[in-house]
Amino acid sequence: MNFAVIFEAKNLAMYGEGILTTLALLFSSLGVGAVLALVFALLLTGPWRTARWLVGVYTYVIRGTPLLIQVYLIYYGLGQLEWIQARWDSVWPWTHFKDPFFCALLAFSLNTAGYTAEMLAGAIRETNAGEIEAAQAYGMSRVQVMVRVVLPSAMRRTLPAYSNEVVMMLQSTSLASAVPSLMDVTGAASRVYSDYYLPFEAFLTAAGIYLIATFALIGFFKFAESRLLAYLAPRKH
């Protein structure tokens, strides 16, 4: 194996650009997706039947189709429609559809929002009735109970499942290489492979980068769970 090629300046710079793109996609999509997921979870558990049905259909479609297909539908589908292309030089928000990063970000955000919304909605439904009754006994309104009691408790209990979603999103960012001119970690490995015909060196380096990032995320969430979910741990006698 010839790993010396990986450490050439131009290839290191290419992997560095890929790491920055991957992290930007990951954290941006998680941020946008978290906001959307919160809104969707509230609608899924709210009293409006039509809203529950619409959001339920959305999460069903998102979870029932591959992320790669969703990326293709946005970039090669919406982004290539003549109606959008006629407006993407001057009319907002269609101006963003000529940006590959935006198309990938939109696909990842909508995908993680669908999964996270269902997780958070499940945690909201499973909130202990005693907590709600206690809050109501203090004279809190329905909104106050949701904001001060239900949501904080649900978010803490969702943390273990959400950590898996974050790790899956990190690995799913490798699909961004399917979008032309977007250089993520997998895209950098593909470029090294095409330039030097060194598939093992190129993709083993990419795998190592993803592995290090995954362990860092797992460590962070383990620490967060030990602090935020300590009250759920068995009591020591």
Q: Domain limits of the chain?
A: 3-229
- The pTM of the full predicted model, rounded to 2 decimals, is 0.88
Q: Could you list the pLDDT tens digit for every one of the 237 residues in the chain?
A: 778 888 889 999 999 999 999 999 999 999 999 999 999 999 999 889 999 999 999 999 999 999 999 999 888 887 777 777 777 777 777 777 778 898 899 999 999 999 999 999 999 998 888 888 888 888 888 888 888 888 988 998 898 899 999 999 999 999 988 887 788 999 999 999 988 888 899 999 999 999 999 999 999 999 988 877 766 655 665
pLDDT of residue 236: 61
At 94 the pLDDT is: 73
**The pLDDT value given to residue 41:** 95
What amino acid is encoded at 84 in this protein? Answer: I
pLDDT at 54: 95
Enumerate residues 6+ apart whose C-beta is below 8 A from 42: 146
Instruction: Output the CATH code of domain 3-229.
Output: 1.10.3720.10
For every residue of the chain, DSSP letters joined together read --GGGTTSHHHHHHHHHHHHHHHHHHHHHHHHHHHHHHHHHHHHTSS-HHHHHHHHHHHHHHHHS-HHHHHHIIIIIGGG-HHHHTTTTTSTTGGGGG-HHHHHHHHHHHHHHHHHHHHHHHHHHTS-HHHHHHHHHTT--HHHHIIIIIHHHHHHHHHHHHHHHHHHHHHHGGGGGGSTT---HHHHHHHHHHHH--HHHHHHHHHHHHHHHHHHHHHHHHHHHHHHSGGGSPPP-
Q: What is the pLDDT of residue 230?
A: 65
pLDDT at 237: 52
